[in-house]
Amino acid sequence: MEKFIGSKEFISFCHSAFDNIPIAIDFLDKDGRMIYINKAFSDFLKIPIEDMIGKIVTEINPTSKFLWALNKKKADIAVRHVFPNDREAICHRIPIFDNQGNLMGGLGMILFEKVNEMKEILKKCEILDKKLKLYKKEIARLNRAKYTLSDIIGDSKPMKLCKRTVKKIANLNLNVLITGESGVGKELFAQAIHNESDRAHMPFVSINTSAIPENLLESELFGYEGGSFTGAKAEGNIGKFEIANGGTIFLDEIADMPYYMQAKILRVIQEREITRIGDNKPIPIDVKIISATHKNLENKIAEKKFREDLYYRLNVLNLQIPPLRERAGDIPKLAEDFLIAFHKEYGLYRKLSKDAMEILMKYSWPGNVRELRNVLGKASVNAEDTIITDKDLPANLFIDLIVKGNQGESGFYNILKKVEKELIEKALVQSNNNKAEAARILEIPRMTLYRKIEDLKINI
């Protein structure tokens, strides 16, 4: 092996590999004797190749430090050196060892012929590095998770269980699937998972996969090179996965992702890399994927609308968010928090009456926390006083309660008539038998109200 560095085979290899390249390269044996030097180096030194082969390097260049690198068996990387012809350059001097660690020789290389040129490049690299760090900080700032566990309201048993689960799974570098009905706050929990993790200082990127047109979803997730397709930006565009690199990406409504895109997401999970549209160079990524859906993915798999292999890749850890009707005890604190927010945002100071709170507690909330917020927002605007009463609440809350109270009745038509009668009677009580006001509360024309009062035999 020691003989190989000076063998005919090695010299022949050097000629074929380095003779015609523009980088100045030479090889020394273990004693510092020149065994190969290419034309680029010869031209740089202005010494013919035949005058250098076989000579000790210090005979060619008395100021050379190459013998020091060989004796110390230590690489001399990117060092400034002035040659006998007064030319200055940045050089590498690298000892070469065999498999047993024995010195075989050395490789010399001129990296930059002009030191000022190298300094300028280094300066530009330093500036670019600073800018890159600033851009990364800005990306992380703009794509940050706002909500933490302390922002999620709820002390009920189901919510305490959810919060404990978040703390358990946050620092596990595994994908998480969040399930729960629409409006339960799945993104809040996704943000809380991110903020509880050691990725909290890195970007959190959220994307609703059902809200983006199918033909744009791939470019949105993976980015594209300039001119990749009609309408593409000339400078290209970075994708959500790249923005989230080092942090977390939240894929909401994952059940509605197009089937062809599911295969691409699966590949990202398996290979831990993405490829921009119009490019063939893979980009390594380190991203935690949190996905969410209010749909039954197992049913979607049975319908051949969702990939089973992707399901198991996403559902490594699972967080099930309970619906609001299963944690009614959290409603008073949620309502209070929303009313305080409305006061700060719109200047509407409101409190809930006992009757109004009782209705909120009994309602089934199919739209969950999102619906509760909307109901309280409308009630705050409708209320004529600081106290929100039951008359300020929307009619559908009462329909829900009345239907629940009449579940023992037989026949849909009979139930509907009874519900309609009770609603009209309630509106008349609220309006002190003012029919015009009752029609406004019920949001129906006055003539329709008159007819229904007569048809349902309602006593005024």
Give the CATH number, domain containing residue 441. 1.10.10
Over range 19-34, report the average pLDDT: 92
Question: Is 86 found in the same domain as 34?
Answer: yes
Question: Is 419 found in the same domain as 305?
Answer: no
Question: Is 227 found in the same domain as 174?
Answer: yes
Q: Domains in the chain: how many in total?
A: 4
Mean of all residue pLDDT scores within the chain = 87
Question: Is 411 found in the same domain as 377?
Answer: no
In a domain, 313, yes or no: yes
Question: Is 313 found in the same domain as 331?
Answer: no
In a domain, 133, yes or no: no
Residues sharing a CB contact under 8 Å with residue 53, sequence separation 6 or more, in sequence order: 34, 35, 36, 37
CATH number of the domain to which 332 belongs: 1.10.8.60
Last residue of a domain, one of 344, 374, 393: 393
Question: Is 450 found in the same domain as 439?
Answer: yes
Question: Is 239 found in the same domain as 153?
Answer: yes
In a domain, 134, yes or no: no
CATH number of the domain to which 84 belongs: 3.30.450.20
Last residue of a domain, one of 299, 322, 345: 322
Joined together, the tokens standing for residue 219 give: 């470019």
pLDDT at 131 over 60: no
pLDDT at 238 over 90: no
Question: Is 299 found in the same domain as 179?
Answer: yes
Task: State residue 2's pLDDT score.
Answer: 43
The residue among 371 and 422 whose pLDDT is bigger is: 371
Question: Is 108 found in the same domain as 200?
Answer: no
In a domain, 140, yes or no: no
Last residue of a domain, one of 61, 93, 113: 113
Cα dihedral 30, 35, 38, 40, rounded to 10, equals 60
DSSP string spanning 296-349?
-HHHHHHTTSS-HHHHHHHTTEEEEPPPGGGGGGGHHHHHHHHHHHHHHHH---
Question: Is 268 found in the same domain as 157?
Answer: yes
Residue 274: which of 263, 264, 288, 260 has the closest Cα? 264
Q: What is the CA radius of gyration of the chain?
A: 37
Highest mean pLDDT among 5-9, 18-22, 283-287, 439-443: 283-287
Cα dihedral 117, 122, 124, 125, rounded to 10, equals 140
In a domain, 128, yes or no: no
CATH number of the domain to which 273 belongs: 3.40.50.300
pLDDT digits (tens, 9 = 90+) for 397-445: 876 666 665 555 545 556 667 778 888 888 888 888 888 888 888 888 8
Confidence class for position 231, pLDDT limits 50, 70, 90: low
pLDDT digits (tens, 9 = 90+) for 61-90: 998 989 999 999 999 887 888 888 888 888
Tell me the residue range of the domain where 184 lies: 149-322
- H/E stretch holding 388 reads strand 387-388
In a domain, 141, yes or no: no
Question: Is 367 found in the same domain as 230?
Answer: no
In a domain, 121, yes or no: no
In a domain, 120, yes or no: no
pLDDT at 1 over 50: no
Question: Is 164 found in the same domain as 308?
Answer: yes
pLDDT digits (tens, 9 = 90+) for 160-197: 999 999 999 999 999 999 999 999 999 999 999 999 99
